Structure 1
Amino acid sequence: MSASTLKLNPPFRAEHIGSLKRPLKLLQKRKELDDGKCTVEELRVVEDEAIRTIVQMQREVGIKSITDGEFRRHMFYDGVFDNLEGMKHVQPVPPEMFMDYVPDVAAFKKLDFKGADTYICVSKLKRTKPFYVPQYEALKALTTPEEHKNIKITMAAPEWFHLRHGEYAYPKDVYNNDEEYFADIATAYQAEIQDLYAAGCRNIQIDDPLLAYFCAESMIKGMEERGVDHEALLDTYIRAYNNCLKNRPADMNVGLHLCRGNFRNGMHFSEGGYDRIAIKLFKEINVDCYYLEYDTPRAGTFEPLKHLPPNKAVVLGLISTKFPTLEDVDDLVKRIHNAANIIASGEPKRSVEAALNQICISPQCGFASHSEGNLVDEDAMRAKLALVTRTAKAVWGDN
């Protein structure tokens, strides 16, 4: 760890994951760009207007970790591999290049997504331009100087295309093995984090549903049938994470978000509690906090939280972004205290008060992992985020 003591500012007691519902005007203008009917500059004007509005909404509901809602992206994982030299955009994708054991791949194949696209490594990977620095700088320009330290940038997971493409992830005449492949990816992430820090960013969140897939029995079974060593692969990804975060500044907060899918109409891709990966997740990956899906039984119980070290925080994703129905505050407060009791019982043991100090609350995922979003309109989104802050105040007061 880059810090020996718990850091809770950021993250804040009331958090949100990053992506927010895009207004119709923005979606229409982006379609115009795709259709060649407007310029990038014209789209930027509409993006800025939409981001100003969504930032003000975050202020009004009491969310302090400000994001741009990912309004400048189509998908939550945009930014890294589409800007990394050595990656090639492929569409359509030969079916054999997708690993069927990956839960979302299996789901998309059932939906017959013939127009699927992807990025494949074709030559040595190199960061020749920034990934997210322009988005951070643009958000700085739309916020006050006092808010700049609170801006959160969400980032793609370093293993995003590796897991879904398996043996097709890179040519064997380019990289001899996974260690060489991820070494170059780590170099790119290190440079990006340093440049974000130099620009003033102090809070990043890596979005990684793939790690949660290692909790799914369906993927484990599929890997074993294909002869993939899932334990060794998880270890490879953990090493990749730690290399990506190597030498990061001590006051750069890094969070890791895990969920089980958040596609159209509230569709999820996998199930299974964190028990299978908890020890490695909490004790071996060098991040400061974990944003964990916990809005439905498919994420399992709080028991894995007993492995959370005293110097790390967990942001409990107790509120659903998939459906507009509001959760009950009293029930949310009860669940938070239940989680604190389990954390307190872990090793090393700690007081319930200390364990409670390690907890924050958020929705379980973003409101728009892809640009179209879910079955939650802007009013319902506001109500959900207001519920996050109301619950946080009920547990921790106004701090």
Structure 2
Amino acid sequence: MSFKHNPPFRAEHIGSLLRPDYLLEARKKFDQKELTYEQLRELEDKAIEEAVRMQREVGIKTLTDGEYRFYDGFFDHLEGFEVVYDPPLDIFKLYVPDIRAFVVKNTKPANTVLCTGKIKHVKSGYLPQLEALKALVRPEEVRNIKLTLAAPEWFHLRHGEHAFRPGVYANRDEYFDDIAVAYRRELDILYAAGLRNVQIDDPLLSYFCAESMLTGMKEAGEDSDALLDRYIQLYSDCLASRPDDMTIGLHLCRGNFRHSIHFSEGGYDAIAVKLFNEINVDCYYLEYDTERAGTFEPLRHLPKHKSVVLGLVTSKFPELEDRQVLKQRVLEAASVIASGSRETVEEALQRINVSPQCGFASHEEGNLLGMDDMWKKLSLVKDLAASVWSDA
């Protein structure tokens, strides 16, 4: 299946923004039951309104709420999933890079989410976020809203056979089938409410580029190629009925934990053919700010009907990149794409957009830079787009 549309704007951002101190403090008070939900919501709305204003001011037209709702999203609203606090380490797959990072630091995740009953979509966790953001933007800007959705295989890679309780599902295919049904329902609800731009965050797919995980899977008797194929099938099932005018983007990075930590390394070469040709999304948001993401060569496999958002500007540190150097990298990527698709460099450029490599606050604390640094980074993204494309 091919799709005819691209991401709407040359200068994008990935979604999460640094949270203002007053919002972080409010969340702590809420967790300690010193603040009501209504009071927290009021402060969230204030922060989101400020974030929307700043996005407009720096020239980023794709509008997000900065993910200031603290990850209130998909799995935690599905019937059949439960939060498990202080989970035993033996239910985790230790070859997964972020899990391995916890173990190396002699710790483990404080909680996780497991399937303990039949999965059923009973309410949308994203719809309230969309409606709240719609209320803060002008009517003509609603089409510019982008929401970030969870990767459908998130808990399975981390837990494997422990992702669902024995007896609930006979095998992982049954488990995936019900996740796909729920995912399709979620997209239907969001589309009906006016959402036209979806970004799926999936660092797990880039883990399949990491030799450390591939080696660990082999030692554990797990077929990494077969599992990747199954996850691709899950994506196909999740997106099978999505409307043709809903743009779906897929974001890959190598982990952005608190204080600018990453979890894995490795270029896209190992998964490029399947990633670009077998997952039915329209565009790919790809980390490309450091050497750990490899070269642009895998972009030779990008089909003509798809586009790429190059994450050239780091969201981890405050130092500003050289715009001219970034421009040359965009042109280099266009040349690689053109070599694979047999089009001109100018034509390939029309399928490229630019962004930071990831969000600025994939976890609550955010990365090692300040608010002013973040807005300078986003301004740089906009200036870079203007220097490459005169219509940006």
1:22 to 12, 19, 22: 19
Equivalent residue number for residue 30 of structure 2 = 33
CA distance in 2, matches of 1:144, 1:286: 31
1:48 to 45, 49, 65: 45
Please report how far the alpha carbon of residue 175 of structure 1 lies from its aligned counterpart in structure 2 after TM superposition.
1.3
2:349 to 340, 347, 356: 356
Equivalent residue number for residue 362 of structure 2 = 369
SS of alignment partner, residue 286 of structure 2: strand
Give the TM-score normalised by structure 2.
0.98
Please report how far the alpha carbon of residue 350 of structure 1 lies from its aligned counterpart in structure 2 after TM superposition.
0.9
2:285 to 278, 287, 291: 291
CA distance in 2, matches of 1:396, 1:112: 48
Percent identity between the aligned chains? 61
Would you say the 8 A contact 1:2–1:248 is kept in 2?
no
Equivalent residue number for residue 10 of structure 2 = 13
Would you say the 8 A contact 1:17–1:363 is kept in 2?
yes
Please report how far the alpha carbon of residue 88 of structure 1 lies from its aligned counterpart in structure 2 after TM superposition.
1.2
Equivalent residue number for residue 211 of structure 2 = 217
2:251 to 238, 251, 257: 257
Tell me which amino acid in the other structure corresponds to 1:213.
Y
1:71 to 68, 73, 77: 68
Please report how far the alpha carbon of residue 234 of structure 1 lies from its aligned counterpart in structure 2 after TM superposition.
0.3
Tell me which amino acid in the other structure corresponds to 2:317.
F
Tell me which amino acid in the other structure corresponds to 2:75.
F
SS of alignment partner, residue 323 of structure 1: coil
2:142 to 145, 148, 151: 148
Equivalent residue number for residue 378 of structure 1 = 371
Equivalent residue number for residue 342 of structure 1 = 336
Q: Does 1:394 align with 2:391?
A: no
SS of alignment partner, residue 259 of structure 2: helix
1:241 to 221, 235, 246: 235
Please report how far the alpha carbon of residue 43 of structure 1 lies from its aligned counterpart in structure 2 after TM superposition.
0.4
CA distance in 2, matches of 1:175, 1:115: 25
CA distance in 2, matches of 1:390, 1:129: 40
SS of alignment partner, residue 345 of structure 1: helix
CA distance in 1, matches of 2:49, 2:389: 29
Would you say the 8 A contact 2:251–2:285 is kept in 1?
yes
CA distance in 2, matches of 1:174, 1:350: 51
Tell me which amino acid in the other structure corresponds to 1:11.
P
Would you say the 8 A contact 1:213–1:270 is kept in 2?
yes
SS of alignment partner, residue 104 of structure 1: helix
Equivalent residue number for residue 137 of structure 1 = 131
Aligned pair count reads: 392
Q: 1:267 to 1:64 in 2, by over 3 A?
A: same
Tell me which amino acid in the other structure corresponds to 1:141.
A
Summarize deviations over 1:213-254 as a string: whole Å, max 9, x none. Answer: 000000000000000011010011001011101111100000
Tell me which amino acid in the other structure corresponds to 1:388.
V
Unaligned runs of 5+ in 2: none
Would you say the 8 A contact 1:2–1:250 is kept in 2?
no
Summarize deviations over 1:248-284 as a string: whole Å, max 9, x none. Answer: 1100000000000111221100000000000000000
Q: 1:121 to 1:28 in 2, by over 3 A?
A: same
Provide the aligned C-alpha RMSD in A.
1.0
Tell me which amino acid in the other structure corresponds to 1:329.
R
SS of alignment partner, residue 312 of structure 2: strand
